[in-house]
Amino acid sequence: MSKRKIKVLSLSDKLKIVNTFESGKSRNEIQREFNLPESTYYKIIKSKDSIKSECSDGHGNIKRIRVSKFPNVEKCLLEWIKQTLDKNIPIDGPLLKEKSKEFATKLGIQNFSASNGWLEGFKRRHDIAFKKASGESKSVDQGVCNHWTEDLPNLLEGYEPDNIYIETRVSEKPL
């Protein structure tokens, strides 16, 4: 006796099934067309609202909806990420972990730990990858540079010139 082969559907495939259901096709026709067992068909129809929502958010290629133990923290963090990237400020893992701890504290969540495992899961759930932003559209805001050059003398005020290290980079041109 052979075991039934499990067929894993992406959210976009499930959305096709939902759309077919909503167009008026019968259960038997849909099951035959998509080669679905009855239990899978009913699970898809039962969760049609979340499937539509996830697909509209651009997650149609994932095969499993991953849920978070701390959805409020992640919602705040995602909003913060959008605002930060709009200002062309680079983000990395340690910064995300620190900010998520801050949001958890503000939300009154006691048992939250921004571990490396949580961070990797967060990035996977929300399709986040740290890549270098380049090009004119992602250049640093000139106002930030002007503010920094104005504040630099004040920051260096209490230091002797011998105690200040400034790194300069010279680009090498091929001969």
Same domain, 17 and 50: yes
63: its two tokens: 């095969």
- The C-alpha atoms of residue 162 and residue 108 are separated, in whole angstroms, by 47
Q: What is the pLDDT of residue 65?
A: 67
- Among residues 73, 134, 149, the alpha carbon closest in space to that of 107 is found at 73
Q: Is residue 90 situated within a structural domain?
A: yes
Q: What is the pLDDT of residue 175?
A: 45
Q: What is the pLDDT of residue 29?
A: 92
Segment among 3-17, 34-48, 66-80, 82-96 with least mean pLDDT: 3-17
Tell me how many helices (H) and strands (E) the chain has.
8, 0
- The C-alpha atoms of residue 8 and residue 10 are separated, in whole angstroms, by 7
Average pLDDT score over the chain: 80
Name the most confidently modeled range: 54-58, 106-110, 156-160, 171-175. Answer: 106-110
How many domains does the chain fold into? Answer: 2
Q: Is residue 156 situated within a structural domain?
A: no
Q: What is the pLDDT of residue 91?
A: 85
Same domain, 42 and 82: no
- The C-alpha atoms of residue 26 and residue 100 are separated, in whole angstroms, by 46
pTM of the model: 0.49
pLDDT-based confidence at 132, cuts 50/70/90? low
Same domain, 78 and 116: yes
Statement: residue 142 has pLDDT above 90: no
Contact predicate 110/76, CB 8 Å: no
- The C-alpha atoms of residue 2 and residue 22 are separated, in whole angstroms, by 34
**Domain limits at 17?**
11-56
21 φ, ψ (degrees, to nearest 5): -60, -45
